[in-house]
């Protein structure tokens, strides 16, 4: 396997300003278990960056560090140039998140869920309602605003969660395996939705997944396995040595140290 490990960091190049997200040399352990080992990655603005890794690779741990659920004791994590440790408020206010687990209040209406989230970002109720309508409009669910979340389908809930993550107009959107549990149609629609947002708003998106089909030519890819970044670069760079087959390239990367147990997780 010849893929170059980790292309050089592009964070902070003068012409573009800081990256949407830059993670530098972050190591994290839970007790004696090493969850992330010297992880560095970069999500430029306006890019779709896929964080590709089998289950247990450390994707959720990385998300927890970026969202300040845990503290990064080593290295640095910056959102739009704001260090999450030193300027948590500045970093978190530019960040939208869709967690892997469903985090909507099922008994509240769609609009109530969105307005609540807006107030958590200090947006007053009147403006929050307006933003909620706008955000729902973008994901095509404005007619469901008054419905209880419980009445929606899984795919619709995910779209609501994306609308919610956008309500405070972040520059970086994190999605942790957002298509888990969705059928193929909803999955494709969701990916297309997020790609539209990148095109229209120039958001930086970090999309964690273990599903190769969600990745398109033109995306940036970071392969994370057993807490380490095995490779990162453009789609073309990734598949250069495997005749355009990303699946093969990915399996080779995660297989190379005999992790056959994990390889089965990737379809």
Partner 1 sequence: MSFVPNRAASRLPLSGYLICMAGICWRESLRFVNQRGRFLSALVRPLVWLFIFAAGFRSVLGVSIIPPYETYILYQVYVAPGLIAMIQLFNGLQSSLSMVYDREVGAMRILLVSPYPRWFLLLSKLVAGICVSLLQVYAFLAIAWFWEVEAPPIGYLTVLPALLLSGLMLGSMGLLMSSLFRQLENFASVMNFVIFPMFFTSSALYPLWKVQESSLPLWYVCQFNPFTYAVELIRFALYGQFEPFSALVVAGCSIVFLIGAIIAYDPSAGLMGRRGGPDAAK
Which residues of the shown chain bind partner 1 in the complex (CB under 8 A)?
17-18, 28, 30-31, 33, 35, 45, 60-61, 64, 67-71, 73, 80-82, 85, 87-95, 97, 99-108, 112, 115-125, 169, 171, 201-203
How far is it, in rounded angstroms, from Cα 150 to Cα 153? 8
Is the Cβ of residue 61 or residue 209 nearer to partner 1 in the bound state? 61
Is the Cβ of residue 28 or residue 144 nearer to partner 1 in the bound state? 28
Rounded to a whole number of angstroms, the minimum distance from the CB of residue 207 to partner 1 is 17
What is the arrangement of strands in the sheet containing 21-30, beginning at the earlier edge strand?
A: 33-43, 21-30, 76-79, 82-83
How far is it, in rounded angstroms, from Cα 204 to Cα 18? 11
Is the Cβ of residue 108 or residue 188 nearer to partner 1 in the bound state? 108
Is the Cβ of residue 208 or residue 212 nearer to partner 1 in the bound state? 208
Rounded to a whole number of angstroms, the minimum distance from the CB of residue 45 to partner 1 is 6
Burial letters 135-146, b for 16+ CB under 10 A, else e: bbebbebbebbe
Is the Cβ of residue 137 or residue 256 nearer to partner 1 in the bound state? 137
Rounded to a whole number of angstroms, the minimum distance from the CB of residue 3 to partner 1 is 27
Is the Cβ of residue 108 or residue 189 nearer to partner 1 in the bound state? 108
Q: Which are the contacts of 85, defined by CB distance < 8 A and separation ≥ 6?
A: 71, 72, 76, 77
Rounded to a whole number of angstroms, the minimum distance from the CB of residue 6 to partner 1 is 23
Rounded to a whole number of angstroms, the minimum distance from the CB of residue 100 to partner 1 is 8
Among residues 148, 175, 225, the alpha carbon closest in space to that of 63 is found at: 175
Rounded to a whole number of angstroms, the minimum distance from the CB of residue 89 to partner 1 is 4
How far is it, in rounded angstroms, from Cα 87 to Cα 80? 11
Is the Cβ of residue 91 or residue 253 nearer to partner 1 in the bound state? 91
246 touches 219 (CB < 8 A):
no
Rounded to a whole number of angstroms, the minimum distance from the CB of residue 215 to partner 1 is 23
Rounded to a whole number of angstroms, the minimum distance from the CB of residue 64 to partner 1 is 6
Is the Cβ of residue 30 or residue 260 nearer to partner 1 in the bound state? 30
């Amino acid at each position: 396997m010849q893929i170059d490990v980790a292309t050089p960091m592009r964070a902070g190049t003068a012409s573009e300003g800081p990256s949407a997200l830059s993670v530098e040399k972050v190591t994290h352990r839970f007790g004696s278990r090493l969850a992330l080992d010297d992880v560095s990655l970069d999500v430029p603005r306006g890019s779709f960056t896929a964080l590709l890794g089998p289950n247990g690779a450390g994707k959720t741990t990385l998300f927890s560090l970026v969202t300040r659920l845990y503290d990064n004791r080593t290295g640095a994590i910056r959102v739009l140039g704001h260090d999450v440790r030193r300027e948590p408020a500045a970093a978190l206010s530019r960040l939208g998140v869709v967690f892997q687990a469903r985090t909507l209040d099922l008994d509240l209406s769609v609009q109530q869920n969105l307005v609540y989230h807006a107030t958590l970002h200090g947006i007053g109720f009147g403006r929050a309602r307006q933003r909620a309508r706008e955000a729902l409009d973008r994901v095509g669910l404005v007619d469901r605003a008054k419905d209880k979340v419980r009445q929606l389908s899984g795919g619709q809930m995910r779209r609501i969660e994306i609308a919610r993550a956008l309500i405070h107009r972040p520059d970086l959107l994190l999605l942790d395996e957002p298509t888990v549990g969705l059928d193929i149609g909803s999955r494709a629609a969701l990916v297309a939705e997020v790609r539209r947002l990148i095109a229209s708003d120039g958001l930086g998106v970090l999309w964690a997944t273990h599903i190769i089909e969600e990745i398109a030519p033109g995306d940036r890819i970071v392969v994370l396995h057993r807490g380490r970044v095995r490779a990162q670069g453009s789609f073309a760079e990734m598949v250069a040595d495997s005749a355009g087959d990303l699946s093969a390239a990915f399996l080779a990367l995660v297989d190379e140290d005999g992790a056959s147990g994990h390889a089965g997780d990737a379809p």
